[in-house]
Amino acid sequence: MMETRSTGMAGFDPTKATILCVDDEPNILSALKRLFRSAGYQIHTAQSGKDGLWVLEENAVDVVISDMRMPEMDGAAFLEKVTQRWPNTVRILLTGQADLTSTVNAVNKGGIYRYVSKPWEDNDLKLTIKAGLETKYLEQERRRLEKLTYQQNEQLMELNSRLEDKVTERTNELEQAMGFLDAAHNSLKESYALAIKVFANLIEAREPGLAGHARRVGDLSQRFAMHIGMGEHDAQDILYAGILHDIGKIALRDELLVKPIESLSATELDEVSKHPVIAQGVLMALDPLQGAGHIIHSHHERYDGSGYPGRLAGDAIPVGARVLSIVNDYDSLQLGTVDGKNYSDTEALAWIKSRAARYYDPELVKQFMAFMNNDTSEDESDELAVPSSQMKEGMVLARDLVAKDGILLLSKGISLDAKLIKKIVTFEKLVNELLTVHVSRQ
């Protein structure tokens, strides 16, 4: 059936569908067979509703076309049974001018997609079939995305469980460590942005070499957006888009997560290039993240129109996506996931500057260079870096508190109290790691 034939509109071919025609008049069946077989459809026929049900039992059918007036079981009764047993089929009724009452009954009970009056016009009937198949396909895509979202949530839950098991194996003092995690969990409830950061951590946990990438891209994208005068709401959408821009890669094979983009084969590139569309699909049901999903969808477009997935160019690319494209590539270059080379900060900036007007909005590149040369977001005059032994109650985190492996522990802006300080010290002992805590100057 259609469910197994396509995973994207580009691969959707309605002429590969299977059609069942049911009519008690052989000449009508012959006419329908000639009409649809010439268009490439696979055709089954039946001369009664009973025979039609038998065909459906034995074959996968996408569209059922039934005459209204048939002996023993009319079209309304037949299509009602089809609806009950094969609800995903597209149901079309052929009806005469005198069958209005029966047609209304069929619409109500049989859930038909469309009714067509006899005699039909060949091209109109073909277009009706094609439109019905497209509607069926779009519904299947919606269900597929819902299933994908559920599977991804299950995978994230399983990953979280494995992380907890690893901590369990490391120490018998898990309950103390979990107290720290409980404190972080309470913070998640109070901060929507923090929840998204933790979600991004779970995505990056599949590949430790990418740890912190999403958080850095989100933070820098937001600050750059504010620098160029974007409003607070738009800058927040860019923050969320930066943190979640790789969520569509959750279904990719592990080796594709870190393989340099310029070394991908055509098949691998086609697989990877679907992730912005998948990401937007995953986020579309969440109202607060729809703006972020719109940005993510286009963040791999290129200014000259050579990007993906829509080959948009120039100002047709949303400004948020143009901002995210620059910042994402800036961080990816330093990670080595663009062409396999780990660029320095200066080299990454030069690489981006050399591709202005081809890959990136040239005016935004110019502003990004100026912004990076004058960025004082983490100026030492505004904060202190202290070891855990010097933490005091009332200190406020000036940066996110992050473990060595990139996992977020506490979010910027949280005020330290005696309980949190104790949890940080306990965590250091458990993982044998000393943390540097950046706090705001009083």
Within-domain flag for 312 = yes
- How much is the average pLDDT of 251-276? 81
Give the domain-ending residue among 340, 375, 410: 375
What is residue 385's three-state secondary structure? Answer: strand
Q: What is the pLDDT of residues 189-231, one digit of tens each?
A: 355 666 666 666 666 666 666 777 888 899 899 999 999 999 9
- Indicate the range of 79-83, 200-204, 277-281, 368-372 predicted with least confidence: 200-204
Whole-number Å distance between alpha carbons of 6 and 274: 14
Which is more confident, 230 or 399?
Answer: 230
Return the percentage of the chain with pLDDT > 90, whole number: 31
Which is more confident, 19 or 437?
Answer: 19
What's residue 231's pLDDT?
92
**Helix and strand totals (H; E) in the chain:** 17, 9
Q: Where in the sequence is the domain holding 317, given as residue range(s)?
A: 206-375
Within-domain flag for 299 = yes
H helix or E strand, kind and range, residue 64: strand 63-67
pTM score, whole prediction: 0.49
On whether the CB atoms of residues 91 and 83 are closer than 8 A, the answer is yes
What's residue 153's pLDDT?
80
Q: Cα torsion for 365, 370, 376, 377, to the nearest 10°?
A: -20
For every residue of 265-277, which 3-state class applies, written as one string? Answer: CHHHHHHHCCHHH
What's residue 175's pLDDT?
57
What's residue 398's pLDDT?
80
On whether the CB atoms of residues 250 and 203 are closer than 8 A, the answer is yes
Give the domain-ending residue among 94, 113, 142: 142
Do 126 and 215 have their domain in common?
no
Peptide bond into 119 cis (omega under 30): yes
CATH number for position 298: 1.10.3210.10
Return the percentage of the chain with pLDDT > 70, whole number: 79
| Number of separate domains in the chain | 2
Whole-number Å distance between alpha carbons of 198 and 196: 5
Average pLDDT, the chain: 81
Which is more confident, 118 or 63?
Answer: 63
Token representation of residue 169 = 């194996």
Within-domain flag for 81 = yes
What's residue 222's pLDDT?
93
Which is more confident, 292 or 203?
Answer: 292
Q: Cα torsion for 310, 341, 407, 268, to the nearest 10°?
A: 40
On whether the CB atoms of residues 326 and 364 are closer than 8 A, the answer is yes
Give the domain-ending residue among 317, 346, 375: 375
Give whole-number Cα distances, 241 to 209, 247, 294, 321, in Å.
20, 10, 9, 9
Within-domain flag for 194 = no
Q: What is the pLDDT of residues 6-38, one digit of tens each?
A: 334 545 566 678 999 999 999 999 999 998 888
The band of 56, judged by pLDDT with boundaries at 50, 70 and 90, is very high
Within-domain flag for 368 = yes
Do 238 and 105 have their domain in common?
no
